[in-house]
Structure formats: C-alpha cells, structure tokens
Amino acid sequence: MPAASAGAGRGSGRAGQGSGRAGQGSDRAGQGSDLAAQIGLVARGDAAAFDAVFEQIGPSVFGVVKRVIRDPAQSEEVTQEVLLEVWRNAAKFDAGRGSATAWVMTLAHRRAVDRVRSVQKEYERERRLAAADIPYDEVTEAVESSLERERVRRCLNSLTEVQRESVTLAYYRGYTYGQVASLLGVPTGTVKTRMRDALIRLRDCLGVAE
C-alpha cells in the first residue's frame, strides 16, 4: 500500500545537514519521512503499513533492546511489546514533535530499561556492574560495516572519554547515572553534566538537530 499523505512532509529538509554524509543523507531523510508516513497509515489500521514499519525499524528496536537486556528470549519479548505498542498507539505519534524513529526508539529503550530494572535482582546487577568490561567495546561491537555505524563511531570518537563512557554505559547497558558514576569513579554531578554535554555534541555531530 503506497504511503500517500499521512504524516508525510517531515524529514526531507534534513537531507543536506551535517557534513561527511554524502550518499546516505538523502537515504536517511527519505527513510525518516517514509516511516512517519507509514505510521500515519498504521494509525488507520493498515496492516501492510505496519509490515513496512516493521521492516524499517524492527531491527533497530531489537538491536537496542538486546543490547540493554542481553538475554535473547527476553529481548524478543520486549521487542514484541514495543512493536505492538507502536501498532496500538500509532495515532498518538505527532510528526511535529520529533521523528518517527525517535518516537519508536524512545519507547524501545524505555521498555528495555524498565524490564532490566524490574526483573533484575540486585545482586545480579551488582555482579554485572563488577564484571563490566570496557564500555568502548560496546561501540566497537556495535559498529560493523554500515556507513551509519561509521558515522556514529566517528561522532562517539569526538567525545571525551568520560562523555563517551557515560553515554555507552547508560544507553547501551541501561545503567543509571549513579551506577555509571560508581563504575567510572566520578562524582554523580559530573556524570549528569557529561551525559548532557555528550548528547548535545552527538546531536550536533550527527546533524540531527531540529
């Protein structure tokens, strides 16, 4: 089913932003507006559009959920919950308040973190904290061949070490800023500040600013 009108008109103006993105900028923007349009159709109960949304964002949802939760079976469950939530709440998406990708990924990450924090016994958490390896490996692991990943890697590299570790431990591992602070041996106030600074720099480097 063609994505004709619903929710369209977003994202196309962002193709040329940033630098060093030749060859992928227009793809990204095209995909972004397409996703928003598809979600508009999903809101009307269009199963074919939901299928298309799945194809586009499903792997990202599963990837981020699995990165936080680790356990493959639980990650599958949470991925299903997230995508069913997208189906149910598609009408609540408003393209004027952010991209469709951000809308879905926010839901995915929140659900993953909530799952980890609700089921994980404290001692397990402590053990994992103690066993945490160098967070930069998280990124290296995440970064394979795609240009998108290369871009993320480059932007993460532009951060200071504490900024980068704060972001990777919080986002990819699902740790609270307090846990990140104890892992890094840095005061919590510093971690909070670094997290915000890091995301501002990433936003600007990635060229996704509004």
Partner 1 sequence: MRPSKRDAHTLAGAYVMDAISAPDRERFERHLAGCEECAREIASLREATAVLGAAAAEPLPAGLKERVMAAAAMTRQQPPADEAQARPNTQGSWLRSLAWPGRLALAAGAATAAAVLTLAVVFGVSNGSMRQQLDQAQASSQQIAAVLTAHDAVMTSGPVSGGGTATIVMSHIRHALVFTAQGLRALPASRGYELWLIGPAGTRPVGMLPAGSHGMTGPVIASGLHQGDHLALTAESAAGTAHPTAPMMLDVDL
Segment 99 to 158, residues that bind partner 1, using CB under 8 A: 99, 101-110, 113-114, 142-143, 148-149, 151-153
Options 3, 49, 52, 180; binder of partner 1; rule CB under 8 A? 180
Q: Which amino acid is at 16?
A: G
Residue 49 burial (CB count, 10 A): 22
C-alpha distances (whole Å) from 103 to each of 57, 106, 174, 186 are 11, 5, 18, 31
Residues 189-208 that bind partner 1 (CB under 8 A): 189, 191-200, 202-203, 206, 208
CA distance 106 to 127: 27
Per the CB < 8 A criterion, the answer to whether 158 and 147 are in contact is no
Kindly state the smallest distance separating residue 197's Cβ from partner 1, in Å: 7
Nearest to 115 by CA among 60, 86, 84, 76: 76
Cα separation, 112 vs 81, whole angstroms: 10
Identify the residue among 52, 79, 115, 135 touching partner 1 (CB under 8 A).
79
CB of 129 to partner 1, least distance (A): 14
Nearer to partner 1, 3 or 104 (CB): 104
Report the site for partner 1 in 16-45 (rule: CB under 8 A): 43, 45
Residue numbers 46-65 binding partner 1 by CB under 8 A: 47, 50-51, 54, 58-64
The residue within the footprint of partner 1, chosen from 8, 98, 128, 186 (CB under 8 A), is: 98
Q: Is the CB of 1 or the CB of 209 nearer to partner 1? A: 209
Nearer to partner 1, 66 or 128 (CB): 66
Query: Phi and psi dihedrals of 176, rounded to 5?
Result: -75, 165
Tell me if 43 sits within 8 A of 65, measured CB to CB: no
Beta carbon nearer to partner 1, 9 or 72: 72
Residue 148 tokens, joined: 């998108």
